[in-house]
Amino acid sequence: MRIATWNINSVRTRTQRALNLISKHDIDVLCLQETKVKDDKFPREVFEDAGLHVTCHGLNQWNGVAIVSKEEPEDVFIGFPGQPGFAKDPEKPQDREARALGARIRGVEIWSLYVPNGREITDRHYDYKLDFLYHLARYAENHAQSKLLMSGDFNIAPRDEDVWDIEAFRGKTHVTEPERAAFQMLEEAGLEEVTRRFTEDQRYTYFDYKGMRFQKNEGMRIDFQLASAPLAQHVTGAQVDMVERAGDKTSDHCPLLADYNLPDFNSVR
């Protein structure tokens, strides 16, 4: 089973790029983030015409997650227990945003996650981000004995080498100790980041549009695939699609792919 995660930065803008990506890599499951569209406006017909199944969760023009798969999901999960909500005004209802979507496919519970950015360390959004990750870790801990995959844009660089210049990030989000500790909680809950060991020569998954970051190789590694032990043992390879990031009018994130050698799945292909 080949699973990919990609912060697409608007699915309506890059529908054809997503279809081309699935075809080029023979992807079985594509997890998308920042689809930026309500469910009733999602271009599902384009994917369905290509023989694919679409599961999506979008509430407005912000955030949004989706899972595009060759097989129809057996179960779908919108949000996870304890997932916090957010509104800029603390006096208004803190509604849950479209940031977490899960689907069970061939017995594997696959999540597409768009972790809050955090904005600034002094912003309420930063506390919201940590709370989101805390409850996500609790969910992972309760499901660590099953085939579980949490993939997506985590908006955290767990190591200094995961950013092009750690000094440029001092005092900013994505590299603070509380954020890194929250990421470590996911690992302590029984998940393993399974792509890094195969992609050391493809260090980054995100390059800002500004400052010609991609051309200068000034990026960040903030997209991951975190698998439970029963699933992680089946990983055979991974790659960062830098060619996609080099394309015209593409997302600022690179697709991140991993291969899982699951006999029950492979036997039906």
| Residue stretches of the annotated binding site for Mg(2+) | 7, 34, 153, 155, 252-253
Whether 174 contacts 133, CB under 8 Å: no
Catalytic residue among 28, 57, 114, 204: 114
| Rounded-to-integer distance, Cα 263 and Cα 259, Å | 12
DSSP state at residue 220: B
Catalytic residue among 204, 206, 253, 260: 253
| Rounded-to-integer distance, Cα 31 and Cα 115, Å | 14
Cite the beta strand spans of the chain per DSSP E: 2-7, 29-33, 53-57, 65-69, 75-78, 100-105, 108-114, 148-153, 191-193, 223-228, 235-240, 256-260
Q: Which residues are annotated as a binding site?
A: 7, 34, 153, 155, 252-253
206 has catalytic annotation: no
Q: In what order do the strands lie in the sheet with 108-114?
A: 75-78, 100-105, 108-114, 148-153, 223-228, 191-193
127 has catalytic annotation: no
Whether 114 contacts 7, CB under 8 Å: yes
114 has catalytic annotation: yes
Nearest alpha-carbon partner for 196 in 174, 225, 175:
225
Other C-beta atoms lying within 10 Å of the C-beta of residue 105: 23
Q: Chain-centre distance of CA 89, in angstroms? A: 27
Catalytic residue among 153, 223, 241, 259: 153
Nearest alpha-carbon partner for 28 in 110, 102, 98:
110
| Rounded-to-integer distance, Cα 216 and Cα 195, Å | 23
Q: Mind telling me the catalytic residues?
A: 114, 153, 253
